[in-house]
Structure 1
Amino acid sequence: MSHDSPRSSRRRVLALAAAATLAAGLAVPLGASAAGAADSGLEGSELFLNPWSTTLEAAQGLSGQARTDAQLLGSIPSADWFTKGTPAEVEAAVDEVVTAAANRGEMPVLVAYNLPFRDCAQYSAGGALNTAEYTAWIDGFAAGIGDRAATVILEPDGLGIIPHYVTINGDAEWCQPAGVSAATAASARFEQLNYAVDALKASESTAVYLDGTHSGWLGVGDISHRLLEAGVERADGFFLNASNYVLTERLHKYGSWISQCIELTTQVSWWQAQWCASQYYPASPGDFSTWTLTDEKYAQDLSGAGVSLDPASMTHFVIDTSRNGQGPWTPPAGVYSDAEDWCNPPDRGLGLLPDTTTGVPLVDAYLWIKVPGESDGKCYRGTPGPLDPERGIEDPAAGQWFVEQARELVALSNPPVAPLTCEVKVTGTKVGKGFLAALVVRNNSTSTLSPWTLSWSFDGDQQVKKVVGGTAVQSGADVTVTAARPIATLRPGKTTAIAVTGTGAAVEPWQFHLNGKACTTR
């Protein structure tokens, strides 16, 4: 399994990667509140939409349908990834995103992805060189957030892939890199993650979630034990399905089982995590209809141990729904020696839109942790490469834009994602130290907009001085223009225009919003 590596951004010092009920024994109304989310401010918050995201950056170099797809994906909040740099560089990069989000009163979702030997030095190899370098980097990350609201997805794969780890069942982890001591690698990983939890949670405004893998991977007891060793009791919970494709209904159960396993393990002195029921037993992993057997087993075990459950005090989780609308890919039988079913599988679709109001007691949010449209890596599926034999093309490197996959994700989204319903064309001329731009606005929706507003974000210290055809209000980099009365009504299929003059660099915004809804740009 692999995840994003850094992508370039012309604005950043640092490269950024920018419901069902619970188990039978946990009878809780779907509307019950979640303490973890309430404490962190994630529940019910408006997620930050980065106007200079790597998705919108990719759109600038595309045309036609590929550009339209990227702009559509860029109109939906995705996480910003931070993957390298010095402590000072990551502090500045995190501060830039968090400042922009704070100015809008929105919640940024930040992925910290810099552990030593991350991804076991595979597709997304890299990370800090040692524990000291990593803890210093985390200190910079935390300093960039300060006391402002932020949600941190802490180290995808950080608990799913641990160098030289021996599981609670006595099995040796497959990841055994030669460049790290087999005697200390696993303990160092837990030391690093515990430090990160404490450093980030020093601010009550920061929510932190640890890697909970997904139901197609680790058993419940195994991941619950790893989460406890990494400090999940001091975090806000765990995240599931990062950069993967498992259906949300399965993740609801898997996450609830992890939470219940943690309750048993921490509240019952004689209980051991390896005794926890899972998707592998008594359920059958491939037959979802049998998963109620595991629900029933938890009800029995909790009752037998005298444990009563309160969702408000249990361990919560978030789910990555960025690419799970069609579920996981089933490779053709007998074709590939290693099908790499996690790596750019064909014909997948977007899942549920990001939402911090889920109606599921233990689920704090559905998030797009993986940036949809960005490659998992160069997938060879057991062949020498360089082509992906399933696609017949060479896949982009991890984290780079993948035009073909972006098209699939949009076309096969489940539920379907609506197209953008407006368009803005910019023509501009630099005048001395300022700019003059004509903005041609087209309403492609079926509704008349009256009045209408157009908003965008600058990339620096530009200031609007005059608008012909409207009135501008500017707050920092964010601008909103309200149309003047003569052109305040914009009917379906019709076009109008305004002219904007100002000071600063003549840089075109990457996305505009008409009455709050994102537009394509040409």
Structure 2
Amino acid sequence: MPASNLHWRTLRGFVTAIALLLISIAAAHGQSKTLPPNTRFFVTEPPSGAVPQVESLLRQGKLKDALLIAAMETIPQAVWLTSGTPAEVSTTVASTLRQAAFERAIPVFTLYNIPGRDCGSYSAGGAENTADYETWIDAIAAAIGSKKAVIILEPDALADLPSDCGYDPTKVNIAQATADRFTQINYAVTTLETGPQTLVYLDAGNSHWQAVPIMAQRLVQAGIQQAQGFFTNVSNFNLNNYESTYDTWVSDCIAFGQDAEQGGWRLGNYSYCASQYYSPLGTVDPDNIATWIYTDEWYQQNMGIAVPTTHFVIDTSRNGQGPLDASIYANAPYTQPVSVVQTLTNGNWCNPPARGLGTHPTANTKVPLLDAYLWVKTPGQSDGTCDAAGGARAWDYQVYSQPGWPTNSAGQAVFDPLWGLDDPIAGAWFPQQALDLAQRANPALLP
């Protein structure tokens, strides 16, 4: 090993050890918000569709399937706050905190009310404007007060900025809408983090979306320094090793771009960072983690004395079997053309079949900087209609169809050929998907 390389490794190891020691000392003196490894997360009330499904399965004599759905609802999940007046959301938060205290557990709140939510797609909605949103945030912060809570702040809000939405610039002031988005997130972080036990995590998309440098830049601009950290994989399906590696790189890149060594040439230059799509040291394939060694090597060679300190959490509610490989639909009996398979690939985030529940929520992750695995997305709730009309599906019905499938263009536009039915709207209970997730859970729900 060259002497210079040995010196770098020794120096970085020493700095890392000192940084971790200081962090542990701060935590011991109550100066740092943490999720201890033995954290108990709050088990919410079952979604409205879960209990009727269990009752229906029991009436059909499908005892094991009924037990699977029931077991799924014993796992801690996030409470989603998606609308309502300030008074209404305050009541919901206060009620949840009381129930969590009874369980001696920590609630996870997912805030999903940002103006222009979901680019106006399946989950469109949100507050009318910045002022309304800030008032809504004020109500949540006041309701939490000094109690302990985890906040998942606005999924997709940073990975899918207004500038990414493809808006018509003659109808939307895209630059202003994007600037407003950062103003809204900054306000939410600053306000919510005033709670002495409120841990706020910001959106970082997932490992198969925005590149590491882009996400690092956006997180810094959104106020990641004031937050506990960031989250990934919400409502998605990427495996834990992909997400934790990607997240570690994002944390690395943030540290890299804030390091003032060597004259400060790297300050603010997050674009220099390697990613899941590119490394100057070798070809990186976002779908093949074996190739990610080249990005790992880039960080090993370029971090200098910068030490990553930005924490993160991962949504594992539906990643037990990993993401859907839409290329299977190119094979018999489906034999779909390349253009269709590409559309299915682009829409594989939307109610993909044959997935499974993933790692159960825990703060005992044994991964540096990974605060917790959480079930953020409510398993069993639809992502949306997932149809051709919304752009998530395409299908050549002349090549493959089934009896009972629609034969006219209007019916086919709102049909999901992957499930063979019309999917429920976003947020509605999807019983077929709920049971499929429970049956394919990894780890298994039942012995």
TM class, shorter-chain normalised? 0.7 to 0.9
Query: Which residue number corresponds to residue 203 of structure 2?
Result: 211
Tell me how far apart the structure 2 counterparts of residues 202 and 180 of structure 1 sit (CA, whole Å). Answer: 33
Query: Which residue number corresponds to residue 277 of structure 1?
Result: 274
Structure number with the higher strand fraction is: 1
Contact 1:115 1:158 in 2 (8 A): yes
Contact 1:161 1:175 in 2 (8 A): no
Residue deviations 1:68-98, cap 9 Å, x none? 3432211100101010011111111111101
Residue deviations 1:217-248, cap 9 Å, x none? 11000011010111011000000100000010
Q: How does 1:260-409 map to 2 (within 5 A)?
A: 260-268=252-260, 269-271=264-266, 272-282=269-279, 283-303=284-304, 307-309=305-307, 314-331=309-326, 332-333=329-330, 334=338, 335-336=340-341, 338-339=343-344, 340-380=347-387, 381-382=393-394, 384-409=412-437
Cα distance, 1:54–1:200 mapped onto 2, change above 3 Å: farther
How far off is 1:270 after superposition?
2.2
TM-score by length of 2: 0.80
Residue deviations 1:434-453, cap 9 Å, x none? xxxxxxxxxxxxxxxxxxxx
Query: Which residue number corresponds to residue 411 of structure 1?
Result: 439
Tell me how far apart the structure 2 counterparts of residues 176 and 224 of structure 1 sit (CA, whole Å). Answer: 27
Aligned pair count? 381
Residue deviations 1:74-127, cap 9 Å, x none? 110010101001111111111110121123321000000000011001000000
Tell me how far apart the structure 1 counterparts of residues 231 and 368 of structure 2 sit (CA, whole Å). Answer: 15
Contact 1:115 1:127 in 2 (8 A): yes
Contact 1:102 1:149 in 2 (8 A): no
Cα distance, 1:220–1:157 mapped onto 2, change above 3 Å: same
Contact 1:55 1:71 in 2 (8 A): no
Query: Which residue number corresponds to residue 240 of structure 2?
Result: 248
Query: Which residue number corresponds to residue 404 of structure 2?
Result: none
- Report percent identity of matched pairs: 42
Q: What amino acid maps onto 1:318 in structure 2?
A: V
How far off is 1:61 after superposition?
6.3
Tell me how far apart the structure 2 counterparts of residues 248 and 318 of structure 1 sit (CA, whole Å). Answer: 11
Tell me how far apart the structure 1 counterparts of residues 319 and 46 of structure 2 sit (CA, whole Å). Answer: 25
Q: How does 1:71-220 map to 2 (within 5 A)?
A: 71-164=70-163, 174-175=166-167, 180-220=172-212
Q: What amino acid maps onto 1:91 in structure 2?
A: S
Query: Which residue number corresponds to residue 232 of structure 1?
Result: 224
Cα distance, 1:245–1:189 mapped onto 2, change above 3 Å: same
Contact 2:68 2:439 in 1 (8 A): no
145-154 vs 70-79, which moves further = 70-79
Contact 2:356 2:442 in 1 (8 A): yes
Tell me how far apart the structure 2 counterparts of residues 117 and 55 of structure 1 sit (CA, whole Å). Answer: 28
Q: What amino acid maps onto 1:404 in structure 2?
A: Q
Tell me how far apart the structure 2 counterparts of residues 114 and 400 of structure 1 sit (CA, whole Å). Answer: 17
How far off is 1:357 after superposition?
0.8
Tell me how far apart the structure 2 counterparts of residues 46 and 343 of structure 1 sit (CA, whole Å). Answer: 30
Q: What amino acid maps onto 1:191 in structure 2?
A: T
Q: How does 1:416-427 map to 2 (within 5 A)?
A: 416-418=444-446
Cα distance, 1:200–1:54 mapped onto 2, change above 3 Å: farther
Q: What amino acid maps onto 1:42 in structure 2?
A: L
Tell me how far apart the structure 2 counterparts of residues 338 and 197 of structure 1 sit (CA, whole Å). Answer: 36
**Which of 43, 60, 66 matches 2:36?**
43
Residue deviations 1:255-287, cap 9 Å, x none? 000000000111233221111110111222122
How far off is 1:58 after superposition?
5.5
Contact 1:109 1:150 in 2 (8 A): yes
How far off is 1:133 after superposition?
0.6
Secondary structure, in 3 states, of the residue corresponding to 1:127?
Answer: coil
Contact 1:151 1:208 in 2 (8 A): yes
Task: Say whether residues 1:221 and 2:213 are aligned partners.
Answer: yes
Tell me how far apart the structure 2 counterparts of residues 93 and 345 of structure 1 sit (CA, whole Å). Answer: 31
**Which of 57, 60, 74 matches 1:63?**
57
Q: What amino acid maps onto 1:385 in structure 2?
A: A
Secondary structure, in 3 states, of the residue corresponding to 2:152?
Answer: strand
How far off is 1:391 after superposition?
1.4
How far off is 1:328 after superposition?
0.6
Cα distance, 1:349–1:60 mapped onto 2, change above 3 Å: closer
The root-mean-square deviation of aligned C-alpha atoms, in Å, is 2.4
Cα distance, 1:316–1:46 mapped onto 2, change above 3 Å: same
Tell me how far apart the structure 2 counterparts of residues 180 and 135 of structure 1 sit (CA, whole Å). Answer: 21
Secondary structure, in 3 states, of the residue corresponding to 2:158?
Answer: coil
Secondary structure, in 3 states, of the residue corresponding to 1:338?
Answer: helix
Q: What amino acid maps onto 1:408 in structure 2?
A: D
How far off is 1:178 after superposition?
6.5
Q: What amino acid maps onto 2:357 in structure 1?
A: L
Tell me how far apart the structure 2 counterparts of residues 200 and 216 of structure 1 sit (CA, whole Å). Answer: 29
Q: What amino acid maps onto 2:137 in structure 1?
A: I
Q: What amino acid maps onto 1:157 in structure 2?
A: D
Residue deviations 1:19-59, cap 9 Å, x none? xxxxx998789xx8976998334232100112455565555
Cα distance, 1:117–1:253 mapped onto 2, change above 3 Å: same
How far off is 1:337 after superposition?
6.2
Residue deviations 1:170-191, cap 9 Å, x none? xxx5355765422311110000
Tell me how far apart the structure 2 counterparts of residues 72 and 52 of structure 1 sit (CA, whole Å). Answer: 11
350-359 vs 100-109, which moves further = 100-109
Contact 1:221 1:261 in 2 (8 A): yes
How far off is 1:336 after superposition?
4.7
Secondary structure, in 3 states, of the residue corresponding to 2:174?
Answer: coil
Please identify the structure whose Cα radius of gyration is greater. Answer: 1
Q: What amino acid maps onto 2:190 in structure 1?
A: D
Contact 1:111 1:152 in 2 (8 A): yes
Q: Runs of 5+ in structure 1 lacking a partner?
A: 1-23, 166-172, 420-522
Tell me how far apart the structure 2 counterparts of residues 135 and 179 of structure 1 sit (CA, whole Å). Answer: 24
Cα distance, 1:338–1:265 mapped onto 2, change above 3 Å: same
